[in-house]
Amino acid sequence: MKKCLWKAFLVGLLLTFGANAPVLAAKKVTHKTVAGTSKKAQAKPQRQVRSGKAAKPSKMTQAAKSAKRGKIMRAAKGQKPVARRLARKTDVHHVSLDQQFENGKLSLYSASAYVIDQASGEALVDKNSNVTLPIASISKLMTAMVVLDARQNMEEVIAVGDEDVDTVKGTRSRLPVGTTMTRQTAMLLALMSSENRAAHTLARHYPGGLPAFVAAMNLKSRILGMNRTHFEEPTGLSSNNVSTARDLAVMVAAAAEYPEIRAASTTAEATLDVNGRIQNFSNTNALVKSDTWQIDVSKTGYISEAGRCLVMKAKVASRPVVIVLLDSSGKMTRVGDAIRIKRWMESASLSYKPRNA
Protein backbone atom coordinates (compact mmCIF):
# COMPACT_ATOMS: atom_id res chain seq x y z
CA MET A 1 0.00 0.00 0.00
CA LYS A 2 2.79 2.36 0.94
CA LYS A 3 4.65 1.49 -2.26
CA CYS A 4 1.58 2.37 -4.32
CA LEU A 5 1.19 5.71 -2.59
CA TRP A 6 4.88 6.47 -3.07
CA LYS A 7 4.67 5.66 -6.76
CA ALA A 8 1.60 7.88 -7.14
CA PHE A 9 3.44 10.71 -5.38
CA LEU A 10 6.43 10.41 -7.72
CA VAL A 11 4.21 10.33 -10.80
CA GLY A 12 2.46 13.52 -9.61
CA LEU A 13 5.81 15.30 -9.16
CA LEU A 14 6.93 14.26 -12.61
CA LEU A 15 3.68 15.46 -14.17
CA THR A 16 3.89 18.77 -12.33
CA PHE A 17 7.51 19.36 -13.39
CA GLY A 18 6.75 18.41 -17.02
CA ALA A 19 3.86 20.85 -17.19
CA ASN A 20 5.94 23.77 -15.91
CA ALA A 21 9.06 23.06 -18.03
CA PRO A 22 7.92 24.84 -21.25
CA VAL A 23 7.04 27.98 -19.31
CA LEU A 24 10.46 28.14 -17.67
CA ALA A 25 12.17 27.51 -20.97
CA ALA A 26 10.15 30.24 -22.59
CA LYS A 27 11.06 32.65 -19.81
CA LYS A 28 14.76 31.87 -20.21
CA VAL A 29 14.63 32.40 -23.97
CA THR A 30 12.71 35.64 -23.54
CA HIS A 31 15.30 37.04 -21.13
CA LYS A 32 18.10 36.18 -23.54
CA THR A 33 16.30 37.82 -26.47
CA VAL A 34 15.56 41.12 -24.70
CA ALA A 35 18.71 41.35 -22.67
CA GLY A 36 19.78 44.92 -22.07
CA THR A 37 16.27 46.39 -22.48
CA SER A 38 14.08 47.92 -19.78
CA LYS A 39 11.72 45.75 -17.73
CA LYS A 40 8.67 47.31 -19.38
CA ALA A 41 10.09 46.63 -22.80
CA GLN A 42 10.79 43.03 -21.77
CA ALA A 43 7.26 42.44 -20.50
CA LYS A 44 5.52 43.35 -23.74
CA PRO A 45 7.47 40.99 -26.02
CA GLN A 46 6.77 38.19 -23.49
CA ARG A 47 3.05 38.66 -23.81
CA GLN A 48 3.34 38.85 -27.58
CA VAL A 49 5.27 35.57 -27.73
CA ARG A 50 2.72 33.83 -25.58
CA SER A 51 -0.24 35.24 -27.46
CA GLY A 52 1.23 34.61 -30.92
CA LYS A 53 -0.16 37.94 -32.21
CA ALA A 54 1.73 40.49 -34.27
CA ALA A 55 3.38 43.27 -32.31
CA LYS A 56 1.51 46.59 -32.09
CA PRO A 57 3.29 49.91 -31.73
CA SER A 58 3.10 51.17 -28.19
CA LYS A 59 2.09 54.71 -27.26
CA MET A 60 5.73 55.48 -26.50
CA THR A 61 6.79 54.34 -29.96
CA GLN A 62 4.17 56.52 -31.61
CA ALA A 63 5.25 59.50 -29.52
CA ALA A 64 8.86 58.90 -30.47
CA LYS A 65 7.91 58.74 -34.13
CA SER A 66 5.90 61.94 -33.82
CA ALA A 67 8.80 63.67 -32.13
CA LYS A 68 11.14 62.51 -34.87
CA ARG A 69 8.75 63.71 -37.54
CA GLY A 70 8.51 67.02 -35.70
CA LYS A 71 12.27 67.43 -35.71
CA ILE A 72 12.43 66.65 -39.42
CA MET A 73 9.64 69.09 -40.18
CA ARG A 74 11.24 71.80 -38.05
CA ALA A 75 14.58 71.21 -39.74
CA ALA A 76 12.97 71.39 -43.18
CA LYS A 77 11.16 74.59 -42.25
CA GLY A 78 14.32 76.01 -40.75
CA GLN A 79 16.17 75.64 -44.05
CA LYS A 80 13.99 78.16 -45.85
CA PRO A 81 14.65 81.13 -43.54
CA VAL A 82 18.39 80.37 -43.69
CA ALA A 83 18.27 80.34 -47.48
CA ARG A 84 16.38 83.61 -47.48
CA ARG A 85 18.92 85.22 -45.17
CA LEU A 86 21.77 84.15 -47.43
CA ALA A 87 19.91 85.44 -50.44
CA ARG A 88 19.44 88.83 -48.79
CA LYS A 89 23.14 89.08 -48.04
CA THR A 90 23.95 88.23 -51.66
CA ASP A 91 21.35 90.67 -52.98
CA VAL A 92 23.19 93.54 -51.34
CA HIS A 93 25.60 93.32 -54.28
CA HIS A 94 22.87 92.84 -56.88
CA VAL A 95 20.17 95.28 -55.85
CA SER A 96 17.42 96.07 -58.32
CA LEU A 97 16.38 99.64 -59.11
CA ASP A 98 13.27 99.39 -56.94
CA GLN A 99 15.34 98.11 -54.03
CA GLN A 100 17.98 100.79 -54.43
CA PHE A 101 15.37 103.53 -54.23
CA GLU A 102 13.66 104.19 -50.94
CA ASN A 103 11.29 107.14 -50.98
CA GLY A 104 12.90 108.26 -54.25
CA LYS A 105 16.47 108.22 -52.88
CA LEU A 106 19.45 106.27 -54.11
CA SER A 107 21.25 104.63 -51.19
CA LEU A 108 24.78 106.03 -51.14
CA TYR A 109 27.14 105.97 -48.19
CA SER A 110 29.45 108.83 -49.15
CA ALA A 111 28.71 112.05 -47.29
CA SER A 112 28.75 114.02 -50.53
CA ALA A 113 28.04 112.72 -54.03
CA TYR A 114 27.48 114.22 -57.43
CA VAL A 115 26.92 112.59 -60.82
CA ILE A 116 26.49 114.73 -63.91
CA ASP A 117 25.81 113.73 -67.51
CA GLN A 118 28.53 115.41 -69.57
CA ALA A 119 26.47 115.37 -72.75
CA SER A 120 23.32 117.00 -71.40
CA GLY A 121 24.67 118.76 -68.31
CA GLU A 122 21.97 116.99 -66.31
CA ALA A 123 22.64 116.18 -62.65
CA LEU A 124 21.67 112.56 -62.13
CA VAL A 125 22.69 112.33 -58.47
CA ASP A 126 23.04 115.20 -56.03
CA LYS A 127 23.86 114.63 -52.36
CA ASN A 128 25.32 117.57 -50.42
CA SER A 129 27.13 118.63 -53.58
CA ASN A 130 27.63 122.23 -52.42
CA VAL A 131 29.19 121.38 -49.08
CA THR A 132 32.84 122.39 -48.84
CA LEU A 133 35.04 119.49 -47.72
CA PRO A 134 38.72 118.50 -47.63
CA ILE A 135 39.58 116.69 -50.87
CA ALA A 136 42.88 114.98 -50.04
CA SER A 137 44.76 113.59 -53.08
CA ILE A 138 42.03 114.58 -55.52
CA SER A 139 44.18 117.74 -55.48
CA LYS A 140 46.75 115.96 -57.65
CA LEU A 141 44.51 116.35 -60.72
CA MET A 142 44.95 120.12 -60.42
CA THR A 143 48.68 119.60 -59.82
CA ALA A 144 48.94 117.68 -63.09
CA MET A 145 47.03 120.33 -65.04
CA VAL A 146 49.25 123.14 -63.76
CA VAL A 147 52.38 121.19 -64.71
CA LEU A 148 51.09 120.53 -68.22
CA ASP A 149 49.87 124.10 -68.66
CA ALA A 150 53.44 125.29 -68.01
CA ARG A 151 54.59 123.25 -71.01
CA GLN A 152 57.67 122.04 -69.18
CA ASN A 153 59.86 119.35 -70.69
CA MET A 154 58.26 116.07 -69.56
CA GLU A 155 61.49 114.16 -70.26
CA GLU A 156 63.57 116.37 -67.97
CA VAL A 157 65.01 114.49 -64.99
CA ILE A 158 64.05 115.85 -61.58
CA ALA A 159 65.13 114.64 -58.13
CA VAL A 160 63.29 114.05 -54.84
CA GLY A 161 64.71 116.32 -52.12
CA ASP A 162 64.41 116.69 -48.38
CA GLU A 163 61.79 119.37 -48.97
CA ASP A 164 59.50 116.74 -50.54
CA VAL A 165 59.31 114.60 -47.41
CA ASP A 166 55.86 114.76 -45.80
CA THR A 167 56.02 116.71 -42.53
CA VAL A 168 52.24 117.22 -42.33
CA LYS A 169 50.98 113.65 -41.91
CA GLY A 170 54.23 111.75 -41.76
CA THR A 171 53.25 109.46 -44.60
CA ARG A 172 55.71 107.01 -46.07
CA SER A 173 56.96 106.91 -49.64
CA ARG A 174 58.65 104.41 -51.90
CA LEU A 175 60.72 107.22 -53.37
CA PRO A 176 63.74 107.87 -51.11
CA VAL A 177 65.37 111.28 -51.02
CA GLY A 178 67.75 111.47 -53.96
CA THR A 179 65.51 109.44 -56.31
CA THR A 180 65.73 110.77 -59.86
CA MET A 181 63.03 110.38 -62.50
CA THR A 182 61.62 112.16 -65.50
CA ARG A 183 58.83 114.66 -65.02
CA GLN A 184 56.56 112.28 -66.94
CA THR A 185 57.33 109.42 -64.52
CA ALA A 186 56.71 111.69 -61.55
CA MET A 187 53.29 112.59 -62.96
CA LEU A 188 52.48 108.93 -63.57
CA LEU A 189 53.30 108.03 -59.95
CA ALA A 190 51.41 111.04 -58.60
CA LEU A 191 48.22 110.21 -60.49
CA MET A 192 48.32 106.40 -60.58
CA SER A 193 49.77 105.52 -57.16
CA SER A 194 49.12 108.88 -55.48
CA GLU A 195 52.81 109.28 -54.57
CA ASN A 196 53.03 112.43 -52.49
CA ARG A 197 56.75 112.97 -52.99
CA ALA A 198 56.31 112.73 -56.74
CA ALA A 199 53.59 115.41 -56.69
CA HIS A 200 55.57 117.66 -54.38
CA THR A 201 58.70 117.27 -56.52
CA LEU A 202 56.73 118.33 -59.60
CA ALA A 203 55.53 121.46 -57.83
CA ARG A 204 58.96 122.33 -56.45
CA HIS A 205 60.50 122.17 -59.92
CA TYR A 206 57.91 124.62 -61.28
CA PRO A 207 59.13 128.05 -62.44
CA GLY A 208 59.10 130.20 -59.32
CA GLY A 209 59.07 127.21 -57.03
CA LEU A 210 56.35 125.93 -54.70
CA PRO A 211 54.68 129.30 -53.86
CA ALA A 212 54.24 130.09 -57.57
CA PHE A 213 52.87 126.62 -58.18
CA VAL A 214 50.21 126.88 -55.46
CA ALA A 215 49.22 130.32 -56.76
CA ALA A 216 48.82 128.78 -60.24
CA MET A 217 46.61 126.03 -58.79
CA ASN A 218 44.24 128.57 -57.24
CA LEU A 219 44.26 130.73 -60.36
CA LYS A 220 43.37 127.72 -62.50
CA SER A 221 40.47 126.87 -60.19
CA ARG A 222 39.10 130.42 -60.54
CA ILE A 223 39.40 130.29 -64.33
CA LEU A 224 37.41 127.06 -64.33
CA GLY A 225 34.73 128.66 -62.14
CA MET A 226 35.57 126.58 -59.07
CA ASN A 227 34.69 129.39 -56.69
CA ARG A 228 34.40 127.25 -53.56
CA THR A 229 37.79 125.61 -53.99
CA HIS A 230 41.10 126.43 -52.33
CA PHE A 231 44.53 124.82 -52.52
CA GLU A 232 47.29 125.22 -49.95
CA GLU A 233 49.77 122.68 -51.33
CA PRO A 234 50.05 120.24 -54.28
CA THR A 235 49.61 116.83 -52.63
CA GLY A 236 46.34 117.01 -50.70
CA LEU A 237 47.94 116.12 -47.40
CA SER A 238 46.70 119.41 -45.96
CA SER A 239 43.06 119.49 -44.83
CA ASN A 240 43.03 123.11 -46.08
CA ASN A 241 42.81 121.82 -49.64
CA VAL A 242 39.04 122.05 -49.93
CA SER A 243 36.33 121.98 -52.57
CA THR A 244 32.78 120.86 -53.26
CA ALA A 245 31.52 117.91 -55.27
CA ARG A 246 30.15 120.29 -57.90
CA ASP A 247 33.46 122.11 -58.24
CA LEU A 248 35.34 118.83 -58.49
CA ALA A 249 33.05 117.67 -61.28
CA VAL A 250 34.23 120.73 -63.22
CA MET A 251 37.86 119.94 -62.44
CA VAL A 252 37.52 116.29 -63.52
CA ALA A 253 35.91 117.35 -66.80
CA ALA A 254 38.77 119.80 -67.41
CA ALA A 255 41.41 117.16 -66.55
CA ALA A 256 39.85 114.82 -69.11
CA GLU A 257 40.93 117.27 -71.82
CA TYR A 258 44.59 116.34 -71.18
CA PRO A 259 45.63 113.06 -72.87
CA GLU A 260 48.56 112.73 -70.45
CA ILE A 261 46.21 112.83 -67.45
CA ARG A 262 43.80 110.36 -69.00
CA ALA A 263 46.63 107.91 -69.69
CA ALA A 264 48.43 108.24 -66.35
CA SER A 265 45.35 108.24 -64.09
CA THR A 266 43.91 105.08 -65.67
CA THR A 267 47.13 103.05 -65.87
CA ALA A 268 46.48 99.90 -63.87
CA GLU A 269 50.08 99.19 -62.88
CA ALA A 270 53.64 99.98 -63.87
CA THR A 271 57.09 98.51 -63.27
CA LEU A 272 59.73 101.18 -62.80
CA ASP A 273 63.44 101.36 -62.05
CA VAL A 274 63.81 103.39 -58.87
CA ASN A 275 67.48 104.04 -58.09
CA GLY A 276 68.52 100.79 -59.75
CA ARG A 277 65.77 98.79 -58.02
CA ILE A 278 62.80 97.43 -59.97
CA GLN A 279 59.53 98.26 -58.22
CA ASN A 280 55.88 97.59 -59.09
CA PHE A 281 53.32 100.35 -58.63
CA SER A 282 49.53 99.91 -58.82
CA ASN A 283 46.58 102.20 -59.31
CA THR A 284 44.84 103.21 -56.10
CA ASN A 285 41.46 102.77 -57.83
CA ALA A 286 40.76 99.07 -58.31
CA LEU A 287 37.96 99.85 -60.79
CA VAL A 288 40.45 100.76 -63.54
CA LYS A 289 41.35 97.06 -63.71
CA SER A 290 37.74 96.01 -64.25
CA ASP A 291 36.56 95.11 -67.74
CA THR A 292 33.06 96.32 -66.84
CA TRP A 293 34.16 99.94 -66.48
CA GLN A 294 35.12 102.46 -69.20
CA ILE A 295 37.08 105.05 -67.24
CA ASP A 296 38.72 108.11 -68.84
CA VAL A 297 39.98 109.85 -65.69
CA SER A 298 40.39 108.48 -62.18
CA LYS A 299 41.73 109.74 -58.87
CA THR A 300 41.37 108.61 -55.28
CA GLY A 301 42.12 110.49 -52.09
CA TYR A 302 42.38 109.92 -48.38
CA ILE A 303 43.33 111.74 -45.22
CA SER A 304 41.49 111.35 -41.93
CA GLU A 305 39.78 114.75 -42.28
CA ALA A 306 38.55 114.00 -45.81
CA GLY A 307 37.62 110.35 -45.51
CA ARG A 308 37.81 108.15 -48.60
CA CYS A 309 37.27 110.07 -51.84
CA LEU A 310 36.91 109.06 -55.48
CA VAL A 311 36.38 111.00 -58.70
CA MET A 312 36.01 109.55 -62.19
CA LYS A 313 35.00 110.46 -65.68
CA ALA A 314 33.54 107.35 -67.25
CA LYS A 315 31.01 106.04 -69.71
CA VAL A 316 28.12 104.42 -67.86
CA ALA A 317 25.02 103.06 -69.59
CA SER A 318 26.35 104.63 -72.82
CA ARG A 319 26.41 108.05 -71.16
CA PRO A 320 29.55 110.11 -70.42
CA VAL A 321 29.34 111.01 -66.75
CA VAL A 322 31.51 112.50 -64.03
CA ILE A 323 31.18 110.79 -60.64
CA VAL A 324 32.34 112.54 -57.47
CA LEU A 325 32.23 110.76 -54.10
CA LEU A 326 33.58 112.49 -50.99
CA ASP A 327 33.99 111.53 -47.35
CA SER A 328 33.27 107.82 -47.45
CA SER A 329 33.96 106.23 -44.08
CA GLY A 330 34.71 102.62 -45.07
CA LYS A 331 37.71 101.58 -47.12
CA MET A 332 35.53 100.10 -49.88
CA THR A 333 32.53 102.41 -49.50
CA ARG A 334 33.54 104.76 -52.30
CA VAL A 335 33.97 101.83 -54.70
CA GLY A 336 30.67 100.35 -53.51
CA ASP A 337 28.90 103.65 -54.13
CA ALA A 338 30.38 103.89 -57.63
CA ILE A 339 29.16 100.38 -58.40
CA ARG A 340 25.69 101.19 -57.02
CA ILE A 341 25.49 104.26 -59.23
CA LYS A 342 26.56 102.25 -62.27
CA ARG A 343 23.97 99.53 -61.67
CA TRP A 344 21.32 102.11 -60.99
CA MET A 345 22.04 103.86 -64.29
CA GLU A 346 22.16 100.59 -66.20
CA SER A 347 18.76 99.56 -64.95
CA ALA A 348 16.29 99.52 -67.81
CA SER A 349 13.60 101.17 -65.71
CA LEU A 350 15.66 104.27 -64.90
CA SER A 351 13.98 107.47 -66.04
CA TYR A 352 16.71 110.00 -66.63
CA LYS A 353 15.51 112.80 -64.41
CA PRO A 354 17.52 114.64 -61.75
CA ARG A 355 17.14 112.88 -58.42
CA ASN A 356 18.29 113.80 -54.96
CA ALA A 357 20.41 111.10 -53.30
Is 47 domain-assigned? no
Q: Say which CATH number the domain at 242 has.
A: 3.40.710.10
Of 112, 194, 221, 328, which is the active-site residue? 194
Residue 227: is its pLDDT beyond 70?
yes
Q: Is 44 a catalytic residue?
A: no
Of 140, 220, 299, 342, which is the active-site residue? 140
Is 89 domain-assigned? no
Residues 106-135: tens digit of each pLDDT: 789 999 999 999 999 999 999 999 999 999
What confidence score (pLDDT) does residue 337 get? 95
Is 32 domain-assigned? no
Distance, C-alpha 203 to centroid of its chain? 36
Q: How confident is the model at residue 7 (pLDDT cuts 50, 70, 90)?
A: low
Most confident of 93-97, 271-275, 300-304: 300-304
Is 145 domain-assigned? yes
Domain that holds residue 123: 97-356
What percentage of the chain carries pLDDT values higher than 90? Answer: 63
Is 5 domain-assigned? no
Of 137, 221, 243, 328, which is the active-site residue? 137
Q: What angle do CA 322, 326, 332 make, to 5 degrees?
A: 95
Q: What total of structural domains would you count in the chain?
A: 1
Q: Is 140 a catalytic residue?
A: yes
Is 57 domain-assigned? no
* pTM of this structure: 0.70
Is 306 domain-assigned? yes
